[in-house]
Chain A
């Protein structure tokens, strides 16, 4: 596709349920990032994938969060046993050049 695609655009879930967020990066981009953006806050780094290297998971806030990237392309961010503080916009980005990240529109997650 022409850009980074994320689905769903919006997700409302009940506290305690699991959610999966999907990211389709720009074709050929080897790097993929997940960030979280809360109201009034900057983007918080979650996880980074680069090619076949082990991902940098240092930003994941708890063991309820996990992410996979299959075949060097599509990525899924999974949040288990969601909590209200997980409510945020989850942004995915891909890049060829480190600082030139192309972002998707994000998934707006609301935990009720």
Chain B
């Protein structure tokens, strides 16, 4: 079993739709839960992070963590063409290594 599994996609949605992205993990030591966004030919950039179960909102983005089920999600409301990118879930325990999902490519059609 992989340490991190991410829904592979790709996803194609019309502008204004809600995008739902999901990852599961197996390492109980993970304490930080992150979402990175990666545009084509660019490096990943941190979008959101959280360290507790529950929801965290930032504008149109909501990160959800369920530690009991080892499941995290990212929701994008009112999606825009500029949201078209690859989204990577990432995890970190007490050490410094970031463990990444394989990424889900999202295309928002105008």
Of the candidates B42, B49, B88, B99, the one whose C-beta lies within 8 Å of that of A100 is B49
Which chain A residue lies CB-closest to B89?
A: A42
Contacts of B88 in A (CB 8 A): 42-43
Within 8 A of A (CB), among B81-101: 88, 90, 92, 96-101
Task: Contact check, A41 vs B34: say whether CB atoms are below 8 A apart.
Answer: no
Q: Could you list which residues of chain A lie within 8 angstroms of chain B, going by C-beta atoms?
A: 4, 31, 33, 35, 40-43, 45, 48, 50, 56, 91, 93, 98-106
Q: List B contacts of A104 (CB < 8 A).
A: 43
Tally A-B pairs: CB < 8 A. Answer: 54
- Shortest distance from the beta carbon of A7 to any chain B beta carbon, whole Å: 13
- Please name 28 pairs of A and B residues whose Cβ atoms are closer than 8 Å in the assembled complex, sorted by A: A4-B43, A33-B96, A33-B98, A40-B102, A42-B4, A42-B100, A43-B88, A45-B97, A45-B98, A48-B96, A50-B96, A93-B43, A98-B32, A98-B96, A99-B32, A99-B34, A99-B90, A99-B92, A100-B46, A100-B49, A101-B46, A101-B98, A102-B46, A103-B43, A103-B45, A105-B42, A105-B43, A106-B42
> Does B41 sit within 8 A of A, measured CB to CB?
yes
Is the pair A99, B49 in contact by a Cβ cutoff of 8 Å? yes
Known A-B contacts A99-B49, A99-B92, A100-B49; A43 and B98 likewise in contact (beta carbons under 8 Å): yes
A41/B43 in contact, CB under 8 A: no
Q: Give every chain A residue within 8 A of B102 (Cβ-Cβ).
A: 40-42
Give chain A nearest CB distance to B39 CB in angstroms.
Answer: 10
CB neighbours (8 Å) of A103 from chain B are: 43-45
Q: What separation, in Å, do the CA atoms of A4 and B46 have in the docked complex? A: 14
B103: which A residues are within 8 A, CB to CB?
42
CA distance A31 to B98 in the complex (A): 13
B97 → chain A closest CB, angstroms: 5
Kindly identify, within residues 1 to 56 of chain B, every residue whose CB is under 8 Å from any CB belonging to chain A: 4, 6, 32, 34, 41-46, 49
Docked pose: A43 CA to B43 CA in angstroms = 11
- Inter-chain CA distance A46–B96, complex, in Å, is 12
